[in-house]
Amino acid sequence: MAKKTTPLPPRHLRSLTRKWYATVLEDYALEPHHVRLLSLACEAWDRAAAAREIINAEGLTFTDRHGQPRARPEIAIERDSRIAFARLIRELDLDEIPTPEASRPPLLARNNRR
């Protein structure tokens, strides 16, 4: 029987996100379609973080060609990415928060622990 290999984190993810991806795969036995959802969640997280960086640097608004203040498009990108991340985590059932006493995350109903 061939040994199951752990998928590597997508290379385009930020370093901390790649580490989180690897940790999730260590802690949970995910089916291949769940691994794809995890990748999408990581991408959504990184996209929200990138939008937040631009908002922090440029501010919440810009002045349009008519001199009127407008919300930066990054605000919608951050919002949409946060919503996508939350939904994907809910779909993966990774929203359980371990208590400080627990050494590992708790067993989830749909995902078998390794």
For residue 88, the enclosing domain spans 35-61+69-97
109 vs 56, which has greater pLDDT? 56
Local confidence band at 29 (pLDDT 50, 70, 90 cut-offs): confident
Pairing outcome for strands 69-71 and 61-63 = antiparallel
Tokens of 2: 């061939």
Residue 92 lies in a domain: yes
Is residue 41 one of the residues assigned to a domain?
Answer: yes
Looking at residue 65, its pLDDT comes to 97
The whole-number pLDDT of residue 16 equals 96
Domain count, the chain: 1
Task: Write down the mean pLDDT value for the chain.
Answer: 86
Task: For the beta carbon of residue 4, count every other beta carbon within 10 angstroms.
Answer: 7
Catalogue the E-assigned strands of the chain: 61-63, 69-71
What mean pLDDT do residues 56-74 have? 97
Flag whether 30 is in a domain.
no
In-domain check, residue 1: no
d(CA 114, CA 87): 24
Residue 39 lies in a domain: yes
Residue 6, pLDDT score = 83
**Assigned domain for 43 exists:** yes
pLDDT at 100: 44
pLDDT at residue 102 is higher than 50: no
In a domain, 74, yes or no: yes
Residue at 15 is within a domain: no
**pTM of the entire predicted model:** 0.77
